[in-house]
Amino acid sequence: MARGRILFVSDLHLDAEAPLAIDQFISFLRTEARDCAALYILGDLFETWIGDDDDDPARGRIRAALAELTAGGVPCFIMHGNRDFLMGEEFMATSGCRLLPDPTVLERAGQRFVLTHGDTLCTGDRTYRRFRGVARSGIAQYCWRALPLAARRRLAAFIRRRSRIYTQHQPQSIMDVTPAAVAALLRSTRGDVLIHGHTHRPDVHHLHVEGRDCTRIVLGDWHGRGSALAIDEDGRCTVLALQS
């Protein structure tokens, strides 16, 4: 049964400044993930990603561990998050991972599981929505990649500091998903279960969409202790608390 189950994680925010989190993730790849049918990382694997040419040793360890997992026959799918949307073809090629569109629908045991990072569901945060539109434009990404690596590192650190300040001063109400956005996504995808991260508010929510019973599962972040969601071959969902 373990081999038949699929695992989901999100919001690990891995960074050289938190080496214990990196160690825990690599341990997870070599234990729980080694025996699963597939691993899905639904965004923000890294705290920041400044380009596939980043030669940071900590990121190199993570890339190598993912390559070890995929070389062992476990498919690994990665979705862009709001922190690491610059991961590109080179990272996927060297890690053996596959880039997952956002959103993606996965069918299993007669159910439709909708996978998304979750930031697009936070429609109340208009400032972030504007930033997202600019940052993900082709022109902005071209200009960013044209900068020297050292300059990108400095800018990424500055943006990260500003983001932390901004988040601390925002009302909690706009930092969470909006019910209308959740319902619209489940309606358009005909989904039964929505799985996402981003909000760092792990929970299971039950809702009704056009007369259908649906479930929204929010993945936990890895700030302190990691967690994963497992779905077995029968479609049963179980939250796994990982060893710290």
The pLDDT assigned to 223 comes to: 82
**CATH fit for domain 6-241, picks 3.40.190.10, 3.60.21.10, 3.40.50.300, 3.10.150.10:** 3.60.21.10
d(CA 83, CA 163): 10
CA dist 56 and 75 (Å) reads 25
The angle subtended at Cα 170 by Cα 164 and Cα 172, nearest 5°, is 110
CB 118 within 8 A of CB 43: yes
Residue 212: phi and psi, rounded to 5, are: -105, 140
Binned average pLDDT, 10 residues per bin, the chain of 244 residues: 81 94 95 95 96 95 98 97 95 98 96 97 91 93 95 92 81 84 97 96 95 96 88 93 70
pLDDT in tens, 4-30: 899 999 999 999 999 999 999 999 999
Q: What span, in angstroms and rounded, lies between the C-alpha atoms of 26 and 65? A: 6
| CA pair distance 83, 63, nearest whole angstrom | 17
Residues 186 and 211 sit within 8 Å (Cβ to Cβ): no
Confidence at residue 192, expressed as pLDDT on a 0 to 100 scale? 97
